[in-house]
Structures are given as structure tokens and as C-alpha cells.
Chain A
Amino acid sequence: DQQVKQNSPSLSVQEGRISILNCDYTNSMFDYFLWYKKYPAEGPTFLISISSIKDKNEDGRFTVFLNKSAKHLSLHIVPSQPGDSAVYFCAALGGGGADGLTFGKGTHLIIQP
């Protein structure tokens, strides 16, 4: 039973445009959400996070939005750059179980020139 879902395995966006990556969750006890970026054969790199008491957090080109009532969060990247091409993982913490993160399966973002 997947508690964190990223329903788009891949997303293609033109360079300079906005990339929007989506994530849904089912466990209402999650209280902290994170986005990680991952290149092949490397570890995930932390991008941005948001606490459940907020609905938006911004860091440079990256903005995360949280809609608690819909159990949905999204990552906006604007403008998209070639170096943004990677797999992006949504993760959540605080689901009432172990202290580790619960991850989605990832979305492969491809930035086209």
C-alpha cells in the first residue's frame, strides 16, 4: 500500500518553461514533506521541504506547495534548466511509524533544449 504516490513516471519540459512535479499522499499523520533530486548511481540530494503548518515554501527557482485538504503537494521549478534533468522523489515524514522517510517512486524530469 503506497502512502506516497508520484503518478507521473516521466515529464518532459522545454528549457526556460515551468516544470511542475506532483505528489499525493494518503497518511494524514505526515507532517513534513521533502523533495529530493537524484542522478543515476548517486545519492539523492535534498532540494526543498515544507512543514504541514505551511502551504508554500520557496527557495530560488524551487517552490513547493502543500494542499493538506487534498493531500497533495507539488514542486515548481522555474525557469527549467538543462541541469534540472534528473529523477525527483517526493518524501514524507511523521506517518506514525518508523523515523525514516516514506518515498514515492519518483518522476524522471527531462528538460529539452
Chain B
Amino acid sequence: DGGITQSPKYLFRKEGQNVTLSCEQNLNHDAMYWYRQDPGQGLRLIYYSQIVNDFQKGDIAEGYSVSREKKESFPLTVTSAQKNPTAFYLCASKEVEGVNQPQHFGDGTRLSIL
């Protein structure tokens, strides 16, 4: 089945540690995105990538880093510089071709600080 896979589902981090969240898609989509959701809030854009080896900052990129070495993979690293990393992280992808395509989401990773 085609889809977006995020792993792990739950992740715990000690303060001061970097942690990497995985996102893989087999939909052959060019564009991929990372969002963060906090309780009672909408999703906010962290980073996005429209093509391999290129990515752009979103609205809340500070304390995060990404890479896009392969079309199907867009890992997100939460660094120790991120002051409040506890949140629900969602990865999405979409086709670039055609006008106005919807983004499709994975099931998320919940990150908690120990």
C-alpha cells in the first residue's frame, strides 16, 4: 500500500540530546513537509522540501534541521537548541505536478522530554 510512514510512534529524549524522527513515503511525491502540533493548536510548518537536495525553512524552523538526500525520505532532527521540543510531529507529502494538490499525512511521532 502507498503511504507515509513515520517512526517511531513515541519517542523520549533526555534534555541536551539531539533526536531524529523518520519519515518515508512510497507515493513518489516530490514535496515533503514537517509540521508540529501542540495541544489545542493547529499544525505549524517547520521545514519543507520540494525536490531532492533542497529544503526551505517554515514558520518555526529554529532548533530543527532536515535533510533530503532521497526522494522518499525526509528525516527531521530535533536539536538541543529547540527550547520546547515536546509535541506531536507530523510529516506530509504531496505531488508537485498539477494545480492545487492536497498534502497527505503520516500518523505522527509524539516526542516527550524525560
Contact = CB atoms under 8 A, between A and B. Distances in A.
B85 interface: no
Contacts of B90: 43-44
Contacts, number: 69
B107 A100 contact: no
A67 interface: no
Interface of B: 4, 6, 31, 33, 35, 40-45, 48, 50, 56-59, 88, 90, 92, 99-100, 102-108, 110
Closest CB pairs A-B (n = 10): A103-B42, A43-B105, A100-B45, A46-B102, A32-B100, A103-B43, A43-B107, A105-B42, A44-B105, A98-B58
B106 to A, nearest CB: 5
B17 to A, nearest CB: 24
Contact of A98 (B6, B40, B43, B48): B48
Interface residues of A, number: 27
Given A99-B31, A100-B58, A4 B42 contact: yes
A49 B45 contact: no
Contact of B35 (A93, A100, A104): A100
Contacts of A36: 105
B43 A99 contact: no
A101 interface: yes
Nearest to A40: B88
A45 B105 contact: yes
B100 A101 contact: no
A101 B6 CA distance: 19
Interface in A44-83: 44-46, 49, 51
A34 interface: yes
23 contacts: A32-B100, A41-B107, A41-B110, A42-B107, A44-B105, A46-B102, A46-B103, A49-B100, A49-B102, A93-B100, A98-B58, A100-B33, A100-B48, A100-B58, A101-B43, A101-B103, A102-B45, A103-B35, A103-B43, A103-B44, A104-B42, A105-B40, A105-B42
